């Protein structure tokens, strides 16, 4: 990947993600803060190591749910190190022995990106906020059918609203590439500079009634794969960076409670409290207040004394 392509790709990804964050922030302030506060749906509320919920301890809707992030920290750190060492200046190509070996490394990284619970949940929640103004507390990542899941929850809603992140994800994600590494069904053709792989399906033979394996063969050039890999890698890296930036910003600037309607129709407030000299998000219980169809929550604001 030459330096100019690298720089333009980075610039486009940063611009696209920043626009999506702006759309999400404008569409629902409360939902956006829930996103930054790592709001999640968590049945096992007795696990106090994974979640901070304060006044809503008995509710499955929680904030500061760090379990997914805790198990993803090593991947994010390795990803940042790999990009820094291989793509900082551009010019890195898949050639000679070291470059060819990096194809397997990058297929591994690529697969882990699109299997990451933290990344996929954040991507889905950002996409739903930006396109529909809805914060999804309960995001369940399926074990199979990732393409349909990503297409339905991310690509289609963003594309329908003309938000560029949808097109970026569409061009970055390939279930075939992910599966080729996961099942070790790829080969590297150095002469043609292509990665070759196949997709296997079990079908019923109409004549015998027995199951048989059906294969479709695919290939992707080194250049195409490298661009798809880098888009996915930098998208994953920069999404985490922007989330951290806004999280720190809001932790130091919020001086009011934002109201949000939980999926169980209960009203809750999200604000910032200071504990032992450190600001943290907190979810406040609004005693049994229910929404009515004509209630405009945007009119409400509860100030916290400084």
pLDDT over 80 at 43, yes or no: no
Highest mean pLDDT: which range of 168-182, 191-205, 262-276, 288-302 = 168-182
pLDDT of residue 191 exceeding 60, the answer is yes
3-state helix, strand, coil in the chain (%, to 5): 50, 20, 30
pTM of the full structure: 0.85
> Could you tell me which of 174, 262, 186, 258 has the C-alpha nearest to residue 224?
174
d(CA 57, CA 48): 9
- In the chain, the number of structural domains is 1
| Dihedral sign of CA atoms 178, 181, 185, 189 in order | positive
pLDDT of residue 47 exceeding 60:
no
Q: What is the pLDDT of residue 263?
A: 86
Domain interval for residue 60: 3-303
Look at 193-197, 270-274, 290-294 and tell me which has the smallest mean pLDDT.
290-294
How far apart are the C-alpha atoms of 26 and 30, rounded to whole Å? Answer: 10
Percent of the chain with pLDDT over 90: 53
How confident is the prediction for the chain on average, in pLDDT?
85
d(CA 268, CA 30): 10
What's the average model confidence in pLDDT over 150-156?
97
Is residue 299 scored above 60 in pLDDT? no
Q: pLDDT grade, residue 44 (50/70/90)?
A: low
243-270 per-position pLDDT tens digit = 999 999 999 887 777 888 888 877 888 8
146 or 293, higher pLDDT: 146
């Amino acid at each position: 990947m030459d330096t100019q392509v690298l720089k333009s790709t980075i610039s486009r990804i940063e611009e696209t993600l920043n626009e999506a964050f702006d759309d999400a922030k404008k569409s629902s302030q409360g939902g956006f803060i829930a996103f930054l506060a790592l709001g999640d749906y968590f049945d096992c509320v007795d696990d106090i190591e994974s979640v901070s919920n304060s006044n809503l301890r008995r509710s499955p809707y929680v904030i500061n749910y760090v379990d997914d992030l805790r198990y993803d920290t090593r991947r994010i750190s390795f990803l940042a190190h790999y990009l820094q060492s291989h793509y900082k200046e551009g010019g890195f190509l898949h050639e000679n022995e070291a470059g060819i070996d990096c194809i397997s490394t990058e297929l591994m990284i690529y697969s882990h990106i699109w299997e990451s619970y933290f990344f996929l949940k954040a991507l889905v929640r950002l996409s739903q906020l930006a396109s529909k103004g809805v914060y999804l507390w309960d995001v369940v990542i399926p074990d199979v059918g990732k393409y349909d899941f990503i297409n339905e929850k991310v690509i289609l809603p963003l594309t329908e609203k003309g938000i560029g992140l949808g097109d970026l994800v569409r061009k970055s994600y390939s279930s075939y590439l992910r599966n080729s590494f996961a099942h070790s069904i790829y080969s590297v053709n150095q002469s043609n500079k292509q990665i070759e792989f196949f997709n296997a399906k079990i079908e019923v033979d109409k004549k015998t009634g027995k199951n048989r394996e059906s294969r479709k063969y695919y290939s992707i050039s080194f250049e195409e794969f490298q661009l798809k890999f880098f888009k996915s890698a930098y998208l994953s890296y920069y999404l985490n960076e922007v989330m951290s930036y806004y999280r720190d910003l809001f932790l130091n600037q919020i001086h009011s409670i934002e109201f949000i309607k939980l999926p169980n129709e209960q009203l809750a407030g999200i604000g910032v409290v200071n504990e032992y000299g450190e600001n943290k998000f907190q979810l406040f219980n609004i005693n049994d207040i229910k929404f009515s169809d004509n209630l405009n929550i945007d009119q409400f604001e509860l100030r916290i004394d400084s």
